[in-house]
């Protein structure tokens, strides 16, 4: 398998899953800062020009959440995805919650503070996005009461996606009022096969 990645991005979710599975993979760095994601050979893999991309034989898969689900299904004995229908439904619920309710405000903040050219940035949307994030984080904070993992009592791919997304929130000081989410994220990143946190990954590309 080949993972097209760039250290501080959503590709962390996929690297985390591969590392926890102990699956062999070839990492291929696509430097977003250098614009390598706009090269024709990369656009052939992902016409959206985004990371991560997983290539497994003739399968070319984009979308970080789809990739982690594929990997968890590919190695069922590792138990990173529940088999029971209702637990699986909960897993999908929290993956979608991460990708929509938590990640989208963070993405708006990133776009309007650094990614868009200055003339296109809307400072008011940063304020709104911060407001949108907090009640959704409060839902997860409440859910995590007395829990170690988001679904059931063993680790699943939802935990990798959520922990990465919470680290992203932490980078923009949005976890301050959520002690359970802080503790959950730190507990997840203390796992032996956890990837670098975003700050360390950023430092690694600037080194």
Work out how close the CB of 32 gets to ligand GSH at its nearest, in angstroms, rounded to a whole number: 5
Work out how close the CB of 59 gets to ligand GSH at its nearest, in angstroms, rounded to a whole number: 15
The smaller minimum CB distance to ligand GSH, of residues 40 and 146, is found at: 40
Q: Edge-to-edge strand order for the sheet containing 2-5?
A: 26-29, 2-5, 53-56, 59-62
The smaller minimum CB distance to ligand GSH, of residues 104 and 148, is found at: 104
Using alpha carbons, select from 75, 99, 100, 72 the residue that is nearest to residue 87. 72
Q: For residue 52, is the peptide bond before it cis, meaning its omega torsion is within 30 degrees of 0?
A: yes
Work out how close the CB of 62 gets to ligand GSH at its nearest, in angstroms, rounded to a whole number: 6
Work out how close the CB of 85 gets to ligand GSH at its nearest, in angstroms, rounded to a whole number: 25
The smaller minimum CB distance to ligand GSH, of residues 43 and 183, is found at: 43
The position carrying tokens 């989208």 is: 104
Contact residues toward ligand GSH (CB under 6 A) are: 9-10, 32, 37, 49-52, 63-65
First to last CA, the chain: 27
The smaller minimum CB distance to ligand GSH, of residues 61 and 141, is found at: 61
Using alpha carbons, select from 68, 27, 52 the residue that is nearest to residue 159. 68
The smaller minimum CB distance to ligand GSH, of residues 63 and 141, is found at: 63
For residues 88 and 183, give the distance between their C-alpha atoms in angstroms, rounded to a whole number: 24
Work out how close the CB of 177 gets to ligand GSH at its nearest, in angstroms, rounded to a whole number: 25
SS3 129: helix
């Amino acid at each position: 398998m080949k993972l097209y990645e760039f250290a501080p991005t959503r590709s962390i979710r996929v690297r985390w899953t591969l590392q926890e599975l102990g699956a062999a993979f070839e990492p291929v760095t696509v430097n977003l800062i250098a614009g390598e994601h706009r090269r024709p050979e990369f656009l052939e893999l992902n016409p959206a020009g985004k990371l991560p991309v997983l290539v497994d034989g003739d399968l070319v898969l984009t979308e970080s959440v789809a990739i982690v689900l594929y990997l968890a299904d590919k190695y069922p004995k590792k138990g990173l995805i529940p088999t029971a229908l209702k637990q699986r439904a909960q897993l999908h619920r929290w993956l979608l919650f991460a990708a929509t309710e938590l990640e989208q405000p963070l993405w708006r903040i990133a776009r309007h503070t650094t990614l868009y050219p200055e003339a296109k940035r809307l400072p008011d949307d940063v304020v709104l996005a911060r407001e949108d994030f907090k009640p959704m984080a409060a839902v997860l904070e409440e859910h995590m009461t007395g829990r170690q993992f988001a679904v059931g009592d063993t680790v699943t791919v939802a935990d990798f996606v959520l922990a990465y997304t919470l680290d992203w929130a932490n980078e923009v000081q949005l976890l301050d009022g959520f002690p359970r989410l802080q503790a959950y994220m730190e507990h997840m990143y203390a796992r032996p096969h956890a990837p670098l946190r975003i700050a360390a990954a950023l430092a690694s590309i600037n080194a």
